[in-house]
Structure 1
Amino acid sequence: MTTTEMAPADAVAPDTTDEPALLEWLADMRREHPVWRDRYGMYHVFRQADVQTVLRDPARFSSETSRLAAASAKVSRGMLTQIDPPEHRRLRQVVSTAFTPKRVADLEPRIREITRRLLDAVPDDGGFDLVDALAFPLPVTVIAEMLGLPASDHPLFRTWADRLFSMQVDDPSDPALGERVAAAMADIVAYLTARVQERRTAPTEDLISALVAAGLDDEEAANFSLLLLLAGHITTTVLLGNAVRTFAEHPGVWEGLRADPATIPAAIEEVLRLRSPFTMAGRVTTEPVEIAGTTIPADRFVLVWMLSANHDERAFDDPEAFVLDRGIGGGAQTAFGHGVHFCLGAPLARLEARVALEELTARYHALSPTSGSMEVLRPYPRGVLGVRRLPVKGVRSY
């Protein structure tokens, strides 16, 4: 009997509002059911080696999930995360020059300027909401400037992002899903389509103009811009909140980072491992394939759990512990994906997080959440591990 047949098909994965329960469930699945077929016929993959096998094999595990959900095909056009090679390679190259190591490094002075301006506006008593004050406006300002979008529209972006990332998607093959997604995206797609059309008549030096110049039609360019805007801020927003929460849970970490800022990049990698911003990614099999002793038929949804991979005891000693000198990086770090779909903006997210944490640790002797209430923190319900609010209290150093 395969592990899939033994697995409880009627089980339900805890959502991200109950992080301890989710991590315990993932550990059980790694141990007992490394490949699991759920009630909707989707296959879930949990162990790091298997997750990486799926993510680096786009020929057998396609990102074009619209092949099983035709209703979502329209919203998939231009979405880099839902396109396979060679088209994926062509589209990625359109904007890849904006994310080269040098181009990203050159953004550091501007990122630091934005960070300092935002923190200068924080009340002197040290009490503020980290997401409102810094974790959201910092990355959204950076990516909006790269896209050529005005600062006055930032509140709209947050409203639209919350709407999309709060959607509950249980069965991706549901014929009504495409309509639900399209409805949730309608406002932001209309907004970005208008910006694309403006660039056709008056191009500027920004990423939307680059998409237009590359020959993308309005729909493709708007969807690609949507991906850059959402992914370009939500990862850093969630990462910064996760970092402050994680440091507060481990006495001495904040003080250590303050004393030696050179260790901040290592701390960021460990936070990414412990609290991966995106918990899973979807693929579709193009042929029957065997994973961990289970044969997954062709044309089936596969959900690969990056969060589970990053907690796999087969890959990491004491995976639930925060270990600053763990040395994780490269192919061992699955938080940003793996293979051809490795996150294009990963260097930018790491840079934004490093600069933000350097400035925070320099300004505050300590910074801790003031409420552990999930109602206050408003965690994302599924797919994203992080909070939308984070009241904190800090002891200012200057």
Structure 2
Amino acid sequence: MSHVVPPMSDEKALLAWLAEMRAHEPVWRDEYGVWHVFRHADVREVLKDTATFSSDPNRVIEGSEPTPGMIHEMDPPDHRALRKVVSSAFTPRMVENLEPRVREVARDLLDAAGPRFDLVQEIAFTLPVTIIGEMLGLPREDQEQFGSWSASLIDIQMDDPTDPALAERIAAILDPLTSYLQRLCAERRAAPADDLVSKLVLAEVDGRGLDDVEAANFSTALLLAGHVTTTVLLGNIVNTLDEHPWAWDLAREHPDRIPAIVEEVLRFRPPFPQMQRTTTAPARVGGVDLPADVMVNVWVLSANRDPEAHKDPDRFDPDRGVRGAAQLSFGHGIHFCLGAPLARLENVVALEEIVRSRGRLVVDREDPSFAMFDQIVLGVRTMPVHV
């Protein structure tokens, strides 16, 4: 049995490897001392037990310190308090109210695209970064730079996730972004506007306000999560429908089925196929004893393809009905993705507008520009399509 993890770009080999590990070595320690968890029940348990499995990776990275305001790396009670600050901007009503603007942007982008275009560059990247940028109050002319920062982060080489040098490389990429946002936070503190950054700098968490560093780091997390997930997911939707042409007909003839199509693509090809936690104490997972202070890598992609959780899991089936707490692709428990309703809205609207204006899209897999990401995210880097 091979212990070499295939790259994300070789999806067939990756899925075969995950199935083998799930069946024969469902909890496995790699050469870097990182423990990998593959079965659905075990993945769900790790994500749910925040007391034993911390979201703070700095616990196991020598010389690393927690980043103030990075909500996805925080545990209760700090996580709960900070989440309250931003949750007011992601209420179902407020997300629902964004629908006309999301549709307007999607429609304009599709109208501007020619008969042949790169779906990622022309639509999938620009739509979510425009929406989250407007929510945060970022100038439109700076959005391309945000894409460059996030792309550099995804492209960073990740061998040993506990290597202090890796944390330094990530910090070097994020420093210009957080510095930019710190300046914006200072401006909004002096002259508040009707945007999310202003709400952050004026908010109070347990009786105290966020300083500019915390607010900027929080904004960084929202900006990256707010557009990377939707960018990758929309590419995965078109990629999956291209492989299953009948699903284009389903979306066109029964637009009310589009949300179910999006949910099934989330299960079938989750944008983030793995999530990291660290143990705060000795733990037992899948009958295997794990020591304290080790990194645990839960394979959401493997859990989503576990036949113990989903019947015939390698079949794309929009009637499967996986959503809510059963949808592990947005996380589970207290760390369930804050922006999940927005990501769902953006992808549903985008698919509706693609069907309305183009009928369907055909992916040109023979085009030399077609490429998938090798690591971190499961999805297409560039996707040439035509009507």
Question: Structure 1-normalised TM-score?
Answer: 0.93
Deviations 1:337-363 (A, max 9, x none): 001000000000000001010010111
Note the residue ranges of structure 2 that are not aligned, 5 or more in a row: 204-208
- Contact 1:71/1:177 (<8 A) preserved: no
**Stretches (4+) displaced over 6 A:** none
Q: Please list the CA deviations of residues 283-327 of structure 1 after superposition, one character each: whole Å capped at 9, or x if unmatched.
A: 111111111110001111100111111111111111111112111
The amino acid across from 1:295 in the alignment is D
Contact 1:71 1:176 in 2 (8 A): no
Query: In the alignment, which residue of structure 2 is the partner of 1:199?
Result: 188
- Distance in 1, Cα, partners of 2:294 & 2:384: 42
**Contact 2:354/2:360 (<8 A) preserved:** no
Distance in 2, Cα, partners of 1:365 & 1:96? 36
Aligned ranges 1:70-219 → 2 under 5 Å: 70-73=62-65, 76-123=67-114, 126-214=115-203, 215-219=209-213
Matching residue of 1:65: 57
* Aligned partners of 1:168 and 1:381 also within 8 Å: no
Match of 2:369, SS state, is helix
Q: Which SS does the other structure have where 1:381 is aligned?
A: coil
Of 295, 303, 308, 2:297 maps to: 303
Cα offset, 1:117, TM superposition: 1.1
User: 1:305-320 maps to which residues of 2 (within 5 A)?
Assistant: 305-320=299-314
Structure 2 match to 1:4? none
- Taking the aligned partners of 1:12 and 1:36, their CA distance within structure 2 comes to 12
Match of 1:255 among 249, 252, 263: 249
Secondary structure of 1:282's counterpart equals strand
- Tell me the number of residue pairs that the alignment of Structure 1 and Structure 2 aligns: 382
Report the residue type matching 2:355 in the other structure: T
What CA distance in whole angstroms lies between the structure 2 residues aligned with 1:343 and 1:34? 25
SS at structure 1 position matched to 2:342: helix
| Match in the other structure for 1:368 | 362
**For 2:266, which of 259, 267, 272 is the aligned residue?**
272
Mean Cα displacement is larger for which, 11-20 or 43-52? 11-20
Deviation at 1:372, TM superposition (A): 4.7
Q: Give the residue type in structure 1 aligned to 2:297.
A: L
TM-score, length-normalised on structure 2?
0.96
Work out the CA distance in 2 between the residues paired with 1:372 and 1:20. Answer: 18
SS of 2:138's partner is coil
Asked if the contact 2:125–2:231 (Cα under 8 Å) also holds between the matched residues in 1, the reply is yes
Contact between 1:72 and 1:177, CA under 8 Å: does it hold in 2? no
Match of 1:350 among 341, 344, 349: 344
Unpaired runs of 5+ residues, structure 1, are 1-6
3-state SS of 1:229 partner = helix
Q: What is the letter of the counterpart of residue 150 of structure 1?
A: P
Aligned partners of 1:284 and 1:103: how far apart in 2?
34
Amino acid of the residue matched to residue 21 of structure 1? A
Aligned AA (1:380): F
Q: Which moved more, 1:380-389 or 1:22-31?
A: 380-389
Q: 1:313 and 1:73 mapped to 2: Cα distance?
A: 39
Contact 2:364–2:370 at 8 Å: present in 1 too?
A: no
> Which residue type is aligned with residue 191 of structure 2?
A
The 2-side partners of 1:349 and 1:72 are apart by 31
| Cα root mean square deviation, aligned | 1.3
Q: Hey, what does 2:217 align to over in structure 1?
A: 223
